[in-house]
Chains A and B, each alone.
Chain A
């Protein structure tokens, strides 16, 4: 399959990329890892007139903690999220997620920024970022702005990013000890999109009472879903079997899946309940065990 023709540029700096974006048409696209965009172009579901390849912009590739946030440069590859010791130790929900995205060869190319910007409701990273209460840094020649996860994911394949903007960083708050997270994905086979997925991040105080809960749902709606009622139900409570079950049930209520090749809608709703319950238990273990 051969994509439609396009113009190609590979700027080495962000400011050159901004200039290119501003001077090219509204159907120009940013090329990061290309593991979603290139298939879209090969199937001619998309025919951008110009690709602005940001792979040579070194300043977008980093992974570090600074000023209260884990900062993930937009060009950070999935393989790096999966294998980083910092991530495995302090943000295991992210390594859980990365290790379930497509397959290892695709993860060598696929980027964190591309995964969230593509805003496929079946992509795994958005659910995790919603659970983590992440923020997204959008930059243009006019400056930068920070977008909250709940405002970033607008609709299917649609984010709050403007045409002139480039997502440069994903920021995850550094939570205090007593925080734990997990991502669970149900998939038919390795490399497939999720039938359903759930990301959970909880913080507990000294006596085990939940002070914050974040729950993001994958592939069960037109966009990633934040299970707000389930989150609210957990705060102020200990994570007992009863509280976990009630939250899982509320998360399932928040999902709006459709029936497709991966299963009927009611099955997916049931799976959200099961996955939420299991993810909460794993997150709880990790919170108590000390690793976030």
Chain B
């Protein structure tokens, strides 16, 4: 009972920008970020896989860095920017990483896919032209039990190319 009271007594106010929208809530400090996203915000694209920081299904970006949202408390994300798989597509248009998974069949059951895509996005932000080995290292915190990873690597390579092309066009426009 004392435990319960202590938990209830200590709710804290958090303000978190999730997919560019400001969210506020009063939460228990023990509420994990993945539960906040899924249960408080109904953003169920972020999956809970192993729940032991191994599988990476719950990977989201916090201030641009890939983190396992089952291993971070919601209160730690207060004041920060979180991006989930729901934040990838803009105006009905798929993000290049989503397009890549679609075009290259980067998924079978799809359970690991949201985390895999977020890890892929984080990787491509740091390295716009990764080698196959760099991709494999980059997603080594994410487990897939269906594909054998070959198609996932291809999907990320596809996204890398699309993103580089988009970058190229941006650079070329002002020169005209």
Which residues of A are in contact with B by a Cβ distance under 8 Å? 1-8, 10, 31, 34-35, 38-39, 41-42, 49, 51, 53, 55, 102-106, 108-109, 190-191
Contacts and interface: CB of A to CB of B under 8 A. Distances in A.
A31 B4 CA distance: 22
23 contacts: A2-B32, A3-B30, A5-B10, A7-B6, A8-B75, A31-B76, A34-B72, A38-B71, A41-B30, A42-B32, A53-B76, A55-B76, A104-B137, A104-B140, A106-B71, A106-B141, A108-B65, A108-B66, A108-B67, A109-B67, A109-B68, A109-B71, A191-B141
Given A1-B51, A104-B66, 4 more contacts: A2-B32, A38-B72, A105-B68, A106-B68
A34 B59 CA distance: 15
A42 B51 contact: yes
Nearest to B30: A3
Given A5-B7, A7-B29, A8-B10, A104 B72 contact: no
A39 B141 CA distance: 16
A64 B3 CA distance: 44
A270 to B, nearest CB: 27
B155 interface: no
B12 interface: yes
B114 interface: no
Nearest to A35: B71
B51 to A, nearest CB: 6
A16 B127 CA distance: 38
Contacts of A104: 66, 119, 137-138, 140-141
B30 A5 contact: yes
A65 B68 CA distance: 32
A39 B59 CA distance: 16
A9 to B, nearest CB: 9
Contacts of B138: 104
A281 to B, nearest CB: 24
Given A8-B29, A103-B141, A39 B53 contact: yes
Given A108-B66, A190-B140, A34 B76 contact: yes
A53 B68 CA distance: 18
B72 A105 contact: no
Nearest to A107: B141
The CB with the most chain B CB atoms within 10 A, among A6, A53, A105, A108, is that of: A105
A104 B56 CA distance: 10
B141 A6 contact: no
Contact of B67 (A6, A7, A105): A105
Nearest to A105: B141
> What are the nearest 3 A-B pairs in CB distance?
A5-B7, A103-B141, A8-B29
Contact of A103 (B7, B30, B140): B140
B65 A103 contact: no
Nearest to B29: A8
A6 B30 contact: yes
A49 B7 CA distance: 10
A54 to B, nearest CB: 11
A37 B29 CA distance: 14
The CB with the most chain B CB atoms within 10 A, among A3, A8, A31, A39, is that of: A8
Contact of B30 (A2, A105, A109): A2
Contacts of A35: 53, 71
A106 B30 CA distance: 19
B7 A105 contact: no
B125 interface: no
B42 interface: no
A105 B59 contact: yes
B54 interface: yes
